[in-house]
Chains A and B, each alone.
Chain A
Amino acid sequence: MLRFFLSRVATAVPAFFIIVALAFFLMRLAPGGPFDTERALDPEIAKNLRHIYRLDLPLMQQFWLYLQSLAHGELGPSLHWRDFTVSELFAKALPISAALGAKAMLVAIIAGTALGLVGAMSKVRIGPHAVDGAAIFGIVLPIFVVAPLLQLGLGLTLHVLPVGGWNDGAWQNQVLPVTTLALPQIAIVARLMQAALIDALAMPHIRTLRAFGMPGYHIYVHALRAAFAPVVSYLGLAAGNVLTGSVVVETIFGIPGMGRYFVDGALGRDYTLVMGTVIVVAAAVLLFNLIVDLILAWLDPRVRYDSRPR
């Protein structure tokens, strides 16, 4: 298991490095710069600014300097919000986004699993189809449609929940964004769970348990363990989906999370801010996938062997 863990970390590190390099150079390839404004800046001032932020150095040297500061945990000063460093900006925004994403994932796992279980266990023939059909709605409806609908219904018409804002993370303000973010994930997890569970329940080793007259809960423990593998594999992808979804959700609900830095940073050519978000997102996705791999290996002993390169 230790070897498995180390080999997965060993592949994650170069992946992280490649992402950082790609983001750095692609951003510089895009036309325009951080100090371009409607009116042309005085050339002297622009030159000065570029010098202060060391944007006049050769690109490779800039990259090297950036990696050095990154090694010290420094994400550099923001080029747009000039009084803040990127780290300072993130210190406020990241916990909000992380809380939002984590809650959405948690809701998706719990509700999705429960729905899938209900569908697979249902004695009526229509049961699994009902779950599938409902799930299709969750998958098809885009976040930017669901969010305003929820705002309209629960916020403006029924007045039970606030339409937007963060309000220091009061639970009333979190319900709608978390629901919006979780809904498509619940649907996908439910479908995966139901299909995997129906397959698992038809496996010969489950028939063995039935032939031994084992109690129902015991049979479901075995079937669930087999069924969790595809669901857990998907969760790695889901982490990425939730992150991109959060950009939209945070914008619609006016939440001061990481989402707006994605957009503002990219549009304003705020190199350091963009790099900062890329690094945080990449690290989060890589970490989550590492966790997913470890859970998969724990669930299925064969993964620890099969994953070895041939």
Chain B
Amino acid sequence: MDAAAKPLLRVRDLRVSYGPASVVKGVSFTLRRGETAAIAGESGSGKTQTVLAALGLLPRQAVTTGLVIFEDTELLALSRRRLDALLGRRIAMVFQEPMSSLDPLFTVGAQIRAILRLKAGLSRRAAKARAKELLDLAGISEPGRRVHSYPHELSGGQRQRVAIAMAIACNPDLLIADEPTTALDVTVAARILELLAKLKQIFGMAMIFISHDLGLVRRIADSVHVMREGEIVEAGSAADVAANPRHEYTRMMLAAMPRAREHVRMETPVLLRAQNIGVRFSLRGGLLSGAREVKAVDGVSLCLGQGRTLGLVGESGSGKSTLARALLKLVPASGMLNFGGRDLTRLDRAAMRPLRRSMQLVSQDPYGSLSPLMRIGDIVTEGLRVHEPAMSRSAREARAALALEEVLLDPRLRFRFPHELSGGQRQRVAIARAMILKPRLVVLDEPTSALDRAVQIGILALLEDLQEAHSLTYVFISHDLAVIRAVADEIAVMKDGRIIEQGPAREIVERPHAPYTRALIAAALQTGET
């Protein structure tokens, strides 16, 4: 039998458990040379645990059983030393978070050279030259200069390219990419995917691609293994699984965002009007360089009717969050702001306070935005204590229970702490906290970005119900065009602090004018949306 026909990797009945909790429950799959296999599943499905276990990278508490055969070698039976000899050389990995997966204290050049010298056995000099070649191959411009950069001096996409350069340093047979594009903006993610596909061609590598996004997986993988709660629930060729999903879970993962909702074009009174909003941050220079100014938001004008949703879309750094904070007067901004017929432009903090309850913010990170030291009930009612100080303790308790019920959470959760809740539950708490004050305007800053697709859909449905029940006005910020399209009546596309295109949601998605909008839509389509 020739080498090409032999499977590169066979995993048989792999099980991982931490004490009594088992996280991988008998996973088996086979990978041929040059093949790309995807492991798809939502967070907590055990997909990362599976590959880390196969490479012996799990912490000591984890108990791994089963067979992992790479060519003819049983990996789980190897000594640490023999396994280390394979890792990096024959099997390489790219991780999800390109910021934290590179050492912040060493230049990227040093990190690549270390692998070349210790794993490929290159001399100091050869490693130096090869590091530059690898960076060039990974699509980093000016590699000669970039080798001296530290990770924090690079963008997210560049960091991921460095991580890929490290992975291909020893020309591995198997590349494992764990959510390599999840932390990146869509247009950047699309380019990273292209790069991975190209390198796979050049080096003839096999690839295991881990992702929560089945749409994305379909584009890059030959075969797909869908994981749920530690088990593979469906496997097959990528085209097959996408076209005829048999398992209900796969169908749920494939279900795209609901189509653009058909809104009745009602003329509603204007609730929020902003004119020529500008926000500048000054970066004070050091001893030798002068002060610099950054225009985070530059001359933005908006008009939003009561009960409607404005979708603000743009990539990270485009100024959308800053704009949202300026609309709530949470950052000093120039320009004119009118809310419900009142001119807010000249109001100071004290004068704004009574208005605050009708303008609420729900922010992105459901982990960071809830105080870990407070009970859910206290978090939800904190605003009431400011705006209705006369309210009795028992009345507040009752309101907290009602508010939690309204976001479809068990009212008994109010005695728990945030760390006891899942991501989706936390985001519902954050929404309840905003809703308890019966606001008129709610700014939602990436409310679903940290969540799995299924949880996202639930949150979006909840937001829509709340909007209908209380005729709320939303400013909905997201980098995810699919989400924006599902919720927004109008879309504004932001880039470099300016709104470059604005109009009814349908028109923007179907007939985009600005080239940037087109690129954004194309990228969104390529990474899974159809």
Give residues in A with beta carbon < 8 Å to B.
3, 6-7, 10, 203-205, 207-215, 218, 222, 225-226, 299-302, 305, 308-310
Complex contacts, B105 vs chain A, CB 8 Å: 222, 225-226, 299-301
Among the listed stretches B84-92, B186-194, B349-357, B390-398, which one makes contact with chain A, having 4 or more residues with CB under 8 Å of it?
Answer: B84-92
Q: How far is the CA of A290 from the CA of B100 in the complex (A)?
A: 29
Besides the known contacts A205-B104, A208-B163, A210-B57, 17 further A-B residue pairs in the complex with CB atoms under 8 A apart: A3-B287, A6-B287, A205-B101, A205-B103, A208-B102, A208-B166, A211-B92, A212-B87, A212-B93, A212-B166, A213-B85, A213-B119, A218-B118, A226-B105, A301-B104, A302-B104, A302-B150
The answer on a CB contact under 8 Å between A211 and B103 is no
CB within 8 A of B118: which of A6, A203, A214, A305?
A214
Asked whether any CB of chain A lies closer than 8 Å to the CB of B284, the reply is yes
Asked whether any CB of chain A lies closer than 8 Å to the CB of B114, the reply is yes
Chain B positions 255 through 297: 1 when the CB is less than 8 Å from some CB of chain A, otherwise 0 = 0000000000000000000000000000110111000000000
Q: How far is the CA of A305 from the CA of B285 in the complex (A)?
A: 11
The answer on a CB contact under 8 Å between B286 and A308 is yes
Q: How far is the CA of A279 from the CA of B61 in the complex (A)?
A: 55
13 contacting pairs across A/B (C-beta < 8 A): A203-B100, A205-B102, A208-B95, A208-B103, A208-B166, A210-B57, A211-B88, A211-B95, A213-B89, A214-B84, A226-B105, A299-B105, A309-B284
Asked whether any CB of chain A lies closer than 8 Å to the CB of B152, the reply is yes
CB distance from A146 to the nearest CB of B (A): 36
The answer on a CB contact under 8 Å between B88 and A207 is no
Chain B positions 89 through 118: 1 when the CB is less than 8 Å from some CB of chain A, otherwise 0 = 100110101001111111000000011001
CB within 8 A of A204: which of B84, B101, B150?
B101
Q: How far is the CA of A212 from the CA of B101 in the complex (A)?
A: 12
Asked whether any CB of chain A lies closer than 8 Å to the CB of B413, the reply is no
Chain B positions 336 through 363: 1 when the CB is less than 8 Å from some CB of chain A, otherwise 0 = 0000000000000000000000000000
Chain B positions 104 through 136: 1 when the CB is less than 8 Å from some CB of chain A, otherwise 0 = 111000000011001100000000000000000
Q: How far is the CA of A153 from the CA of B152 in the complex (A)?
A: 54
Asked whether any CB of chain A lies closer than 8 Å to the CB of B55, the reply is yes
The answer on a CB contact under 8 Å between A214 and B89 is no
CB within 8 A of B101: which of A6, A10, A207, A309?
A207
CB within 8 A of B83: which of A203, A209, A213, A300?
A213
Complex contacts, B92 vs chain A, CB 8 Å: 211-212
The answer on a CB contact under 8 Å between B115 and A222 is no
Q: How far is the CA of A273 from the CA of B106 in the complex (A)?
A: 48
Q: How far is the CA of A222 from the CA of B93 in the complex (A)?
A: 19
CB distance from A10 to the nearest CB of B (A): 8
A123 to B, closest residue via Cβ: B60
Chain A's interface: helix, strand, loop or mixed, by majority?
helix
The answer on a CB contact under 8 Å between B104 and A211 is no
Q: How far is the CA of A138 from the CA of B367 in the complex (A)?
A: 38
B114 to A, closest residue via Cβ: A218
In B38-53, the 8 Å CB interface with A consists of none
Q: A207-B57, A226-B105 are in contact. Are A214 and B287 (CB under 8 A)?
A: no
A306 to B, closest residue via Cβ: B152
Complex contacts, A309 vs chain B, CB 8 Å: 284
The answer on a CB contact under 8 Å between A212 and B100 is no
Q: How far is the CA of A301 from the CA of B286 in the complex (A)?
A: 16
Q: A204-B97, A205-B101, A300-B104 are in contact. Are A215 and B57 (CB under 8 A)?
A: no
The answer on a CB contact under 8 Å between B119 and A212 is yes
Q: How far is the CA of A299 from the CA of B103 in the complex (A)?
A: 12
Complex contacts, A210 vs chain B, CB 8 Å: 57, 87
In B143-169, the 8 Å CB interface with A consists of 150, 152, 163, 166
The answer on a CB contact under 8 Å between B115 and A212 is yes
The answer on a CB contact under 8 Å between B286 and A213 is no
Complex contacts, A203 vs chain B, CB 8 Å: 100
Q: Which 4 A-B pairs have the closest CB atoms?
A: A213-B87, A212-B88, A213-B84, A204-B100
The answer on a CB contact under 8 Å between B106 and A222 is yes
B residues contacting the other copy or chain, number (CB 8 A): 33
Q: How far is the CA of A214 from the CA of B163 in the complex (A)?
A: 15
The answer on a CB contact under 8 Å between A310 and B101 is no
The answer on a CB contact under 8 Å between B118 and A7 is no
A205 to B, closest residue via Cβ: B103
CB distance from A73 to the nearest CB of B (A): 28
CB distance from B451 to the nearest CB of A (A): 21
CB distance from A141 to the nearest CB of B (A): 34
The answer on a CB contact under 8 Å between B57 and A211 is yes
CB within 8 A of B95: which of A7, A10, A207, A305?
A207
Q: Which of B103, B106, B287 has the most CB of A within 10 A?
A: B103
B56 to A, closest residue via Cβ: A210
Complex contacts, B57 vs chain A, CB 8 Å: 207, 210-211
Q: How far is the CA of A3 from the CA of B289 in the complex (A)?
A: 10
B87 to A, closest residue via Cβ: A213
CB distance from B265 to the nearest CB of A (A): 46
Q: How far is the CA of A10 from the CA of B288 in the complex (A)?
A: 13
CB distance from B271 to the nearest CB of A (A): 35
Q: How far is the CA of A209 from the CA of B286 in the complex (A)?
A: 35
CB distance from A221 to the nearest CB of B (A): 9
CB distance from A119 to the nearest CB of B (A): 16
CB distance from A11 to the nearest CB of B (A): 11
Q: How far is the CA of A207 from the CA of B106 in the complex (A)?
A: 15
Q: A208-B95, A212-B88, A212-B93 are in contact. Are A310 and B114 (CB under 8 A)?
A: no
CB within 8 A of A3: which of B83, B166, B288?
B288
Complex contacts, A212 vs chain B, CB 8 Å: 87-88, 92-93, 115, 119, 166
CB distance from A295 to the nearest CB of B (A): 13
A310 to B, closest residue via Cβ: B284
Complex contacts, B150 vs chain A, CB 8 Å: 301-302
Q: How far is the CA of A300 from the CA of B206 in the complex (A)?
A: 37
The answer on a CB contact under 8 Å between B286 and A214 is no
Q: Which of A205, A211, A213, A214 has the most CB of B within 10 A?
A: A213
The answer on a CB contact under 8 Å between A301 and B284 is no
Complex contacts, B288 vs chain A, CB 8 Å: 3
Q: A6-B287, A204-B101, A225-B105 are in contact. Are A211 and B115 (CB under 8 A)?
A: no
Complex contacts, B88 vs chain A, CB 8 Å: 211-214
Q: Which of A209, A215, A300 has the most CB of B within 10 A?
A: A209
The answer on a CB contact under 8 Å between A208 and B101 is yes
Complex contacts, A225 vs chain B, CB 8 Å: 105-106
Q: How far is the CA of A301 from the CA of B166 in the complex (A)?
A: 21
Q: How far is the CA of A7 from the CA of B287 in the complex (A)?
A: 7
The answer on a CB contact under 8 Å between B119 and A214 is yes
Complex contacts, A6 vs chain B, CB 8 Å: 287
Q: How far is the CA of A302 from the CA of B153 in the complex (A)?
A: 9
Q: A205-B103, A205-B104, A226-B105 are in contact. Are A301 and B115 (CB under 8 A)?
A: no
Complex contacts, B83 vs chain A, CB 8 Å: 213
The answer on a CB contact under 8 Å between B100 and A211 is no
The answer on a CB contact under 8 Å between B93 and A211 is yes
CB distance from A196 to the nearest CB of B (A): 13
The answer on a CB contact under 8 Å between A205 and B115 is no
The answer on a CB contact under 8 Å between B114 and A214 is yes
Q: How far is the CA of A310 from the CA of B291 in the complex (A)?
A: 10
Complex contacts, A226 vs chain B, CB 8 Å: 103, 105
Q: How far is the CA of A204 from the CA of B104 in the complex (A)?
A: 11
CB distance from B40 to the nearest CB of A (A): 21
Complex contacts, B114 vs chain A, CB 8 Å: 214, 218
CB distance from B127 to the nearest CB of A (A): 14
CB distance from B102 to the nearest CB of A (A): 6
